[in-house]
Structure 1
Amino acid sequence: MTAMSRWILLATLLGDAGCHDMEHSRRIDDPAITGKTIALQVCSNCHGVNGVSVSPTFPKLAGQQREYLVNQLMDFRAHRRSDPNAKRYMWGFTHLSDAQIEQLAAYFSSRPPPAGGSGNPLLVENGRTIFVSGLPDKGVPACSACHGAHGEGAGEFPRLAGQHADYIVKQLVIFQHTGERPRGDVMSTICVKLTEEEMHSVAAFLEASTARAKIQADQGTVETGSARE
């Protein structure tokens, strides 16, 4: 066998081994596969490698609250979230173990959070008012009371800063139908009081926001995570 033939054979064997390992790692019904591997090779197809999705059909997961991610993955696994996209994209993950769920949540929550974008200035400003002060005349509390002064979230309350506006609006509509979103009783009582324009305003503000509370505090600024950072 010539030297060239040996190199070709070696390359072929290595290539076959690499493909075998890749396919093996995608067997996410195997509890030995780590959550990080699942995140990189499966979740990344919709949510991006670093959790910053391109399509508003899929939420940005980067920098999301770990406890919130754990709760949602458990609800998907048990088919408790029954909104259309949950059924279409997430109901197949019934095989995830508790350990894999914890690892997935740890991976995405540790990714750098998404940067804020731009939006219609009027919608953004109206949304800022609702987020910070609520709508007292309608009995709508300030969103910041649960989701943080900068939209950074806390525990079971998700990070909203930098999220796709279209995704936020879609979820606000879904929360009007509590049965499709478990753990959604509080949001349901709020969302039924919001008009479509108010929902779009809040969503525009949040998409344009970047939750950088610590940096702002250090700098002594008072902006609420705006796109001007």
Structure 2
Amino acid sequence: MNRMCRTWAVFQLAVVLSGWTVLGHAAELEKPDANRGKVIVTQVCAACHGADGNSAVDTYPKLAGQHAEYLAKQLRDFKARADAAQPSRNNAIMAGMAGALSDQQIADVTVYFASQTPKPGYAHDRDTIALGQKIYRGGIVEKSVPACAACHGPSGQGIPSQFPRLSGQWATYTASQLNAFSQGPGARDNSPTMHAIASRLSDNEIKAVSDYISGLH
């Protein structure tokens, strides 16, 4: 399923590139346009993230309702760097996708995703809910891990331009990103704060808080 998703997305990207030429070379950014963003999402992003940003596969994040500013930063962080250093987020598929987008297209795509209605998620492991709730709401004092709610909000809504919306996100995806943050360079190196926090969490704690987050609403 994942391989098919990636192959289809890359194919669609190649097909529509010619249609983006004029927009991609615009000298100044226009006001973000969700309708333009929808065209790009439908042709390219939907294969993995869903046409409305509600992905059907738990390895791909739900983007519906995510803050546009946060999404824009993540897309830029996937891009290859001029100094030839590794991107802040190391993902071969997303590097190709993000690298083909102009700043205007990024603005259009992200405002479209932000305007979509996220579907709720659910926690699945009763045995870890208490631990996940403890970490999310109160942190782990003895490990100097702050409460997730301090930045992402009690219900996981985040703060626009600063902290992402987490509510209802797939547990599998959240866990994969916490593990990437814990590794830092070579995996995900675009938040020193999250690297410090994630590196102090055990595998069981990551699993617990990720599952708890999936049920936040």
TM-score, normalization by structure 1? 0.75
The residue that corresponds to 1:50 in the other structure is 52
Partner of 1:172: 178
CA separation in 2, counterparts of 1:42 and 1:27?
13
Larger-Rg structure = 1
Match of 2:165 among 155, 159, 163: 159
Shift of 1:208: 1.4
CA distance 1:170–1:31, shift in 2 (3 Å) = farther
Quick one: structure 1 residues 67 and 90, their matched pair in 2 at CA, closer, same or farther if it must change by over 3 Å? same
Q: Residues 25 and 37 of structure 1 are in contact (CA less than 8 Å); yes or no, is this contact kept in structure 2?
A: no
Distance in 2 between the 1:152 and 1:109 partners? 12
Alignment RMSD: 2.0
CA apart distance, 1:68:
0.7
CA deviations on 1:36-90 (whole Å, 9 max, x unpaired) are 211111100100011011112211000111111010011123352343xx21344
Residue 102 of structure 1 corresponds to which residue in structure 2? 107
Q: Percent identity?
A: 36
Cα-to-partner distance string for 1:134-163 (whole Å, 9 max, x where unaligned): 001111000011111111111231111111
Distance 1:194 1:68 in 2: 24
Question: What are the superposed Cα offsets for residues 63-121 of structure 1, whole Å, 9 maximum, x if unpaired?
Answer: 111111010011123352343xx213443431211111111110001111221224112
Who is 1:203 aligned against? 210
Q: Structure 1 stretches of 5 or more lacking a match?
A: 1-22, 211-229
Q: Tell me the SS of whatever aligns to 2:134.
A: helix
Q: Contact (CA 8 Å) 1:29, 1:95: kept in 2 or not?
A: no
Letter in 2 for 1:183: N
Q: Which residue of structure 1 aligns with residue 33 of structure 2? A: none
Give 3-state SS (helix, strand or coil) of 2:99's partner. Answer: coil
Q: CA deviation at 1:183?
A: 2.4
Q: Separation in 1 of the partners of 2:158 and 2:115?
A: 14
Q: What corresponds to 1:120 in structure 2?
A: 125
- Cα distance, 1:27–1:128 mapped onto 2, change above 3 Å: farther
Q: Is the 8 A contact 1:71 1:156 kept in 2?
A: no
The aligned residue for residue 145 of structure 2 is 140
C-alpha change, 1:44 and 1:92, in structure 2 (3 Å) is: closer
Partner of 2:3: none
Aligned length: 186
Query: Are the equivalent residues in 2 in contact too, given 1:140–1:190 (CA < 8 A)?
Result: yes
